[in-house]
């Protein structure tokens, strides 16, 4: 009789809605379709390095489909190749990949499914080379992971940000104010662009298009001249002025990408007030968009990803990440995903839609064409 396969699963990097839906699908598919057993590591790669895990069965994943966060916990500071250890109030970094491999072997695992973003996938490539049978599942509210058209978590974040923009809209209108809403997304503008369009933003600023403050003020004044006494500006946290820099909120010493962005909207707000003399207010949504229940779209995508990941394990197609191309599930080699990101292309449909519907992207059309060519 063939040996029962045993798989490990972990959730790494910043959390997002839908992580639990993937875990549920992994466990159910493993048990129902393949008679495999599953264990879950706590807090991302940290759990595998430190041998901290729990058995996952159908009971442990019951009722978690709609729950935000992750029942396993997560960490964006647990790179096994640069593992932080606190020594006398100071972090030192050790390569703990050998401990990870030892624990994987000791537990008799046949495969490891990692659910994460670029940090998690970048470590996954080198771990394949150390003999771990890796499968990746792409998550992030930023939607910036290379190799897939869509990460789960993005749709939920767009829905939450859109709801917030709708609410800001009514108070903007009532007070005749310029209202700026800043959303996360790191170096990619997907979240700002999608929620800005869905929420009817008048101006949308994304990292891919460095803005011109005069073009922004021009749009606000143009609106005022036709009786629109308020304006909604949606800003991605990575937005920057032409020739300027992104605003760094803080540095996280022991994180694979130490930079944490945030606060550009305050700068923009001050400049708008000074240049237009219009009252301006700023709301930074921050981690709010990472919380809460996944949308139906994300529940479905996360479930499809989880089932597909286990199918890849059963077919021994290791070293791949499940991905979405159009509406089809495909797999992409982890080596292709590692260290890359996916930004909003300037010729993308969403950019065209913004322009056709009169949304300003913070630059003149001529400038945008120049950037696109
Ligand atoms: O990658 C997801 C994300 O939420 C980014 O949009 C944001 O820049 C970052 O994580 C925030 O990280 P942290 O949770 O460490 O503050």
Task: Mention every residue, 6+ apart, whose C-beta is less than 8 A from residue 290.
Answer: 14, 15, 16, 17, 141, 153, 157, 184
Distance 308 CA to ligand 1 centre (A): 27
Question: How far, in Å, from the CA of 252 to the mean position of ligand 1?
Answer: 11
Q: Residue 185: CB within 6 Å of ligand 1?
A: yes
The pTM for the full model equals 0.97
Q: Tell how far the Cα of 178 is from the centroid of ligand 1, in angstroms.
A: 26
Q: Among the atoms of ligand 1, which is closest to the Cα of residue 141?
A: 2
pLDDT at 1: 64
Q: Does ligand 1 have an atom closer than 6 angstroms to the CB of 298?
A: no
Cα 316 to averaged position of ligand 1 atoms, centre (Å): 33
Centroid of ligand 1 to alpha carbon of 123 (angstroms): 18
CB of residue 120 inside a 6 A radius of ligand 1: no
pLDDT confidence tier of residue 2, bands split at 50, 70 and 90 = confident
Q: What ligand 1 atom has the least distance to the C-alpha of 262?
A: 8
Between the alpha carbon of residue 317 and those of residues 74, 112, 136, the distances in Å are 25, 12, 11
* Nearest atom (ligand 1) to Cα of 289: 4
Distance from Cα 317 to the centre of ligand 1, integer Å: 31
> In this structure, which residue's CA is closest to atom 14 in ligand 1?
14
End-to-end alpha carbon distance in the chain: 61
Q: What does the alpha-carbon distance between residue 81 and residue 122 come to, in Å, rounded to a whole number?
A: 11
Is the CB of 261 within 6 Å of ligand 1? yes
Domains and CATH numbers, the chain: 6-152+294-337 (3.40.50.450), 158-290+345-372 (3.40.50.460)
**Ligand 1 pocket, residue 142 CB under 6 Å:** yes
pLDDT at residue 237 in the model: 98
Per-residue pLDDT at 346 exceeds 70: yes
116 lines ligand 1 (CB under 6 A): no
Residue 238 CA: nearest ligand 1 atom is 8
Q: What is the pLDDT of residue 254?
A: 75
Mean pLDDT score across all residues of the chain = 96
Q: In terms of pLDDT, which residue wins out, 157 or 89?
A: 157
The two tokens of residue 248 are 């760094």
CA 240-244-245 angle, to 5 degrees, is 65
Q: How far is 17 from 82, CA to CA, in rounded Å?
A: 27
Joined together, the tokens standing for residue 35 give 């008679």
Q: Judge contact between 211 and 189, C-beta under 8 A.
A: no
In the sheet that 111-116 helps form, which strands lie side by side, from edge to edge? 53-56, 37-41, 6-11, 111-116, 134-138, 320-325, 328-333
Euclidean distance between CA atoms 172 and 235, whole angstroms: 16
Ligand 1 atom closest to 185 (CA): 6
Tokens of 226: 């036709």
Q: Is 327 a catalytic residue?
A: no
DSSP, res 1: -
For residue 46, the model assigns a pLDDT of 96
Phi-psi region for residue 91, left (φ > 0), alpha (ψ -120 to 50) or beta?
A: beta
**What integer pLDDT is reported at residue 50 of this predicted model?**
97
In sequence order, what are the residues at sequence separation of 6 or more whose Cβ sits closer than 8 angstroms to the Cβ of residue 53?
8, 39, 40, 41, 42, 47, 107
Residue tagged active-site, from 43, 110, 142, 155: 142
Segment 163-175 mean pLDDT:
98
* Helix or strand run (H / E) with residue 20: helix 19-34
- The pLDDT value recorded for residue 3 is 81
Q: Which helix (H) or strand (E) holds 336?
A: helix 334-337
């Amino acid at each position: 009789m063939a040996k029962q396969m045993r798989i490990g699963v972990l959730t790494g990097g910043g959390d997002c809605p839908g992580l639990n839906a993937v875990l549920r699908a992994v466990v159910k598919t493993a048990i129902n379709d393949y008679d495999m057993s599953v264990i879950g590591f706590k807090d991302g790669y940290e759990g595998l390095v430190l041998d901290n895990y729990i058995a996952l069965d159908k009971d442990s994943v019951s009722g978690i489909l709609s729950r935000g966060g992750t029942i396993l916990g997560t960490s964006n500071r647990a790179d096994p190749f640069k593992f932080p250890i606190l020594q006398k109030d100071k972090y030192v970094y050790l390569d703990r990949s050998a401990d990870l491999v030892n624990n994987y072997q000791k537990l008799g695992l046949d495969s490891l499914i990692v659910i994460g973003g670029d940090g998690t996938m970048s470590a996954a490539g080198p771990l394949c080379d150390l003999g771990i049978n890796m499968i990746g599942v792409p998550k992030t509210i930023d939607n910036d992971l290379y190799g897939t058209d869509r990460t789960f978590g993005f749709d939920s974040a767009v829905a939450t940000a859109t709801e917030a923009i709708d609410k800001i809209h009514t108070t903007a209108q009532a007070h005749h104010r310029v209202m700026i809403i800043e959303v996360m997304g790191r170096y990619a503008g997907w979240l700002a662009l999608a929620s800005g369009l869905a929420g009817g933003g008048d101006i949308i600023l994304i990292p891919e298009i460095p803005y011109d403050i005069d073009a922004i003020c021009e749009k606000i004044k143009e609106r005022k001249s036709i009786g629109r006494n308020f304006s909604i500006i949606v800003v991605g946290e990575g937005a920057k002025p032409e020739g300027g820099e992104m605003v760094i909120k803080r540095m996280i010493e022991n994180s694979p990408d130490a930079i944490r962005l945030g606060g550009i909207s305050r700068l923009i707000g001050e400049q708008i007030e000074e240049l237009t003399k219009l009252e301006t207010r700023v709301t930074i949504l921050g981690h709010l968009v990472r919380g809460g229940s996944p949308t139906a779209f994300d529940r479905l995508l996360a479930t499809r990803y989880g089932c597909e990941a286990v199918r890849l394990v059963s077919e021994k197609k290791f070293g791949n990440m499940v991905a979405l191309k159009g509406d089809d599930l495909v797999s992409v080699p982890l080596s292709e995903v590692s260290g890359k990101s996916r930004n909003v292309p300037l010729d993308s449909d969403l950019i065209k839609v913004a322009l056709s519907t009169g949304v300003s992207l913070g630059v003149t059309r001529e400038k945008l064409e120049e950037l696109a060519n």
